[in-house]
Amino acid sequence: MNAHSRRFTAAVSTITAALAIGAAGQAAAHPSTSSPNPLQGIISATQGLRVTAATPSQLNAIGSARSYLDTSSFSRKGLIEQLEYEKFSYDDAVYAVDHITVNWNEQAAKSAKTYLQTSSFSRSGLIDQLEYEGFTATQAEYGVAAAGL
């Protein structure tokens, strides 16, 4: 088990212990409303929960995704495709994109502004271009409006 996994396991154990102590305290404070097993709610809530640490490849994909977004704008689909082009698996690329915070509307706005700095577009033409890049219709419309068209 690596250091990251040990820290994560310790954090999960600490949270579980805190919840158990809180549940036991709640049961002691309200004995008439408690169930026979004060931990039953915690046990039920955590059944089927699978907690896994990110793989090295997933962590690298996250780093690459962040680097790309620092220098350029991407749609969600476009960023996944870029990571795949860099030889990350589809699953690792999706994992990375799903585990970073991205405002896709803002990405569409940045893309629209970049296009307008280098080319002339009609409003509908720029929306079509952004959709072609993988932005949703709503994101593309937002981006074009934010760019002033």
Whichever domain contains 75, its CATH number is: 1.10.10
How high is the pLDDT of residue 19?
A: 38
Based on the domain organization, do 34 and 60 belong to the same domain?
Answer: no
Count structural domains, the chain: 3
How high is the pLDDT of residue 121?
A: 97
How high is the pLDDT of residue 52?
A: 78
Q: Does residue 85 lie in a domain region?
A: yes
31: containing domain: 3-46
Residue ranges of the chain whose pLDDT lies below 50: 1-35, 42-44, 46
The amino acid occupying position 60 is N
d(CA 103, CA 92): 20
d(CA 9, CA 18): 14
Q: Does residue 92 lie in a domain region?
A: yes
Q: Does residue 35 lie in a domain region?
A: yes
How high is the pLDDT of residue 51?
A: 60
Based on the domain organization, do 94 and 108 belong to the same domain?
Answer: no
User: Could you say which of 98, 114, 132 is where a domain stops?
Assistant: 98
Report yes or no on whether pTM surpasses 0.85. no
Q: Does residue 51 lie in a domain region?
A: no
Measured CA to CA in angstroms, residue 95 lies from 37, 46, 89, 111 at distances of 37, 22, 10, 23
Q: Does residue 20 lie in a domain region?
A: yes
